């Protein structure tokens, strides 16, 4: 999935307004970029097909809205990017890796803090 | 039936598969009993050992295939030197033979692994492009992502870029932020994402558990090297260790901890305790075991060739 320049602008617009139809979006971008209503309509359709916008029929036209809030969308994409290379059989093995994280509790933090403080202490003694 | 160069190639693939199979068993056993030794080596040295481990089966497979294919003729036969080392009718290949089944399995596996990786790579690059287009360019190589998740990572393979989230930036002071960015720039400089990808492809011949353990060991070495590189700019090592600990604590506060570390190089995931200890304690001095690896390679080259020829004879004899 790649976002074109106009798609990016339209998506950003929807992250600022609640909902809009094609005419409202066109009105917003007409002065900035020119273009036609058709261009805006096809851009909205592409964003809808990519799952980035939702739409509801209102009389003869669609009203569009962002399918996710900006921070939520980017946050999920960041997580998604890291999962593309997961092994099929990784679940059980991954639990072991994740459990290491789970074990990283206050005791663990204190142990590492002590290690760092001991290092600082030794360094300052050496300097004296 | 295929004859000539086509048969040569398919028979060589079969020999290669047998060579890889034996090497994988030997190297897996070596790794199983030596994985704990990672602490005895400097990160860069251990990285080289891991590269040797993942490339050895491929090299040994190719060596066995070359030895059996090109030196197995009447003029220059291994048969005269070591009885049993030869491959019957290397210029003939029958589809309906065990060679055929093995050949199809090997070629199928290689194509499957390649296509799967290529699809994942393509999707990953596209998502990184979307992230890039939705972020603010902070500097030449650094993109700021507007999300609360505290993250800093390198994305992309040929021209990798650093991504840092507002969630991470807001919770670190300027010195800590500099340490995180220096660490990530080192990943960019070394093209670590690409290295990880190649390492993953090479290690795909290992069975699940060993493959993942090898990758985890490589991840740790790569992170330790990047941490080490920061020490050349930030002389107070304790500050780097404190930053690692802080980032780890921030990450632990997020609900979803199940990140995969293979595709990306990111700050604060890989066995923080090992990394902090590696920073604070004197660097291990054990050198690259060149003698041992050379011996293993030589023995494996002979064993793989012999194993491929013996397996060939055994199966032919059993089926005849």
Query: Mean pLDDT for chain A?
Result: 79
What is the C-alpha to C-alpha distance for residues B87 and B311, in angstroms, rounded to an integer? Answer: 10
Contact B249 A109 (CB under 8 A): yes
What is the C-alpha to C-alpha distance for residues B92 and B103, in angstroms, rounded to an integer? Answer: 13
pLDDT at residue B261, as a whole number: 45
Q: What is the mean pLDDT of residues A20-37?
A: 87
pLDDT at residue B84, as a whole number: 64
Rounded to 5 degrees, what angle do the CA atoms A105, B180, A70 make?
A: 85
B311 confidence band (pLDDT: 50, 70, 90): confident
Contact B276 A109 (CB under 8 A): no
B268 confidence band (pLDDT: 50, 70, 90): very low
Query: Does residue B151 or residue B270 have the better pLDDT?
Result: B151
Residues from chain B that touch A75, judged by Cβ atoms under 8 A, are 147-149, 165
* A57 reaches B (C-beta below 8 A): no
Residues from chain B that touch A50, judged by Cβ atoms under 8 A, are none
DSSP for residue A76: H
* A15 reaches B (C-beta below 8 A): no
Q: How large a percentage of chain B has pLDDT more than 90?
A: 34
Question: How far is Cα of residue B315 from the mean position of the Cα atoms in its chain?
Answer: 33
Sequential DSSP letters for B187-241 = HHHTTHHHHHHHHHHHGGGS-HHHHHHHHHHHHHHHHHHHHHHHTTT---HHHHH
Contact B238 A101 (CB under 8 A): no
Contact B216 A97 (CB under 8 A): yes
Residue B265 pairs in a beta bridge with: B154
CB atoms within 10 A of CB B27: 23
Q: What is the mean pLDDT of residues A5-14?
A: 88
pLDDT at residue B75, as a whole number: 54
Identify the CA nearest to B32 among candidates B291, B206, B274. Answer: B206
For residue B264, is pLDDT > 70?
no
Please, which residues have CB within 8 angstroms of residue B47's CB and are 6 or more apart in sequence? B218, B221, B222, B225
* A61 reaches B (C-beta below 8 A): no
pLDDT at residue A98, as a whole number: 30
Q: How large a percentage of chain B has pLDDT more than 70?
A: 90
Q: Which two tokens stand for residue B221?
A: 């070495």
Tens digits of per-residue pLDDT, B38-78? 888 999 999 999 999 999 999 999 999 888 877 665 555 55
Tens digits of per-residue pLDDT, A58-108? 888 899 999 988 888 888 888 777 665 554 433 322 322 233 344 567 788
Of A105-119, B229-243, B246-260, the least confident: B246-260
Q: Pick the residue from chain B with its C-alpha nearest to A82.
A: B260
Identify the CA nearest to B216 among candidates B254, B260, B247, B250. Answer: B260
Contact B280 A94 (CB under 8 A): no
Residues from chain B that touch A90, judged by Cβ atoms under 8 A, are 208, 212, 260
Rounded to a whole number, what is the distance in Å from the CA of A125 to chain B's nearest CA?
15
For residue A37, is pLDDT > 70?
yes
What is the C-alpha to C-alpha distance for residues B83 and B86, in angstroms, rounded to an integer? Answer: 8
Q: What is the ipTM of this complex?
A: 0.73
Q: What is the mean pLDDT of residues A114-119?
A: 92
pLDDT at residue B274, as a whole number: 87
Residues 179-208 of B with CB under 8 A from A: 197, 200, 208
Residues from chain A that touch B276, judged by Cβ atoms under 8 A, are 112, 115-116
Query: Mean pLDDT for chain B?
Result: 84
pLDDT at residue A56, as a whole number: 92
* A78 reaches B (C-beta below 8 A): yes
Query: Does residue B182 or residue B100 have the better pLDDT?
Result: B182
Residues from chain B that touch A8, judged by Cβ atoms under 8 A, are 133-134
What is the C-alpha to C-alpha distance for residues B119 and B310, in angstroms, rounded to an integer? Answer: 38
pLDDT at residue A97, as a whole number: 27
3-state secondary structure of A52: coil
């Amino acid at each position: 999935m790649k976002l074109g320049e106009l798609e990016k602008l339209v998506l950003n617009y929807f992250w600022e307004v609640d909902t809009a139809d094609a005419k409202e979006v066109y009105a917003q971008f007409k002065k900035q970029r020119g273009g036609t209503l058709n261009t805006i309509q096809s851009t909205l359709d592409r964003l809808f097909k990519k799952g980035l916008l939702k739409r509801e029929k209102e009389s003869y036209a669609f009203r569009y809205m962002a399918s996710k809030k900006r921070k939520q969308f980017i946050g999920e994409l960041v997580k998604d990017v890291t999962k593309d290379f997961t092994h099929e059989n990784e679940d059980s093995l991954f639990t072991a890796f994740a459990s290491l994280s789970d074990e990283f509790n206050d005791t663990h933090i204190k142990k590492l803090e002590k290690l760092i403080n001991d290092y600082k202490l030794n360094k300052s003694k050496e300097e004296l | 039936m295929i004859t000539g160069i086509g048969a040569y190639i398919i028979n060589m693939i079969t020999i290669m598969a047998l060579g890889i199979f034996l090497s994988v068993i030997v190297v897996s056993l070596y790794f199983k009993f030596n994985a704990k030794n990672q602490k005895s080596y400097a990160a860069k040295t251990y990285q080289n050992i891991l590269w040797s481990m993942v490339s050895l089966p491929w090299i040994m497979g190719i060596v066995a295939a070359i030895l059996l294919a090109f030196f197995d003729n009447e003029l220059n036969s291994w048969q005269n030197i070591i009885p049993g080392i030869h491959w019957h009718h290397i210029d003939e290949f029958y589809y309906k033979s065990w060679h055929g089944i093995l050949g199809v399995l090997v070629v199928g596996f290689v194509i499957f692994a390649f296509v799967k990786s290529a699809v994942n790579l393509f999707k990953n690059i596209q998502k990184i492009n979307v992230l890039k287009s939705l972020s603010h360019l902070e500097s030449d190589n650094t993109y700021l992502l507007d999300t609360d998740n505290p993250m800093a990572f390198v994305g992309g393979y040929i021209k990798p870029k650093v991504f840092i989230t507002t969630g991470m930036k807001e919770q670190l002071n300027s010195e800590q932020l500099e340490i995180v960015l220096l660490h990530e720039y080192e990943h960019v400089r070394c093209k670590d994402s690409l290295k990880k990808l190649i390492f993953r492809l090479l290690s795909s011949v290992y069975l699940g558990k060993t493959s993942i353990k090898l990758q985890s060991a490589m991840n740790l070495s790569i992170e330790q090297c990047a941490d080490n590189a920061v020490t050349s700019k930030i002389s107070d090592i304790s500050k780097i260790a404190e930053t690692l600990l802080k980032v780890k604590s921030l990450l632990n506060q997020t609900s979803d901890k199940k990140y995969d570390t293979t595709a990306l190089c990111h700050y604060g995931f890989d066995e923080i305790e090992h990394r902090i200890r590696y920073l604070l304690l004197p660097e291990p001095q054990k050198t690259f075991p060149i003698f041992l690896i050379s011996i293993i390679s030589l023995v494996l080259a002979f064993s793989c060739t012999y194993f491929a020829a013996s397996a060939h004879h055994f199966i032919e004899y059993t089926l005849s």
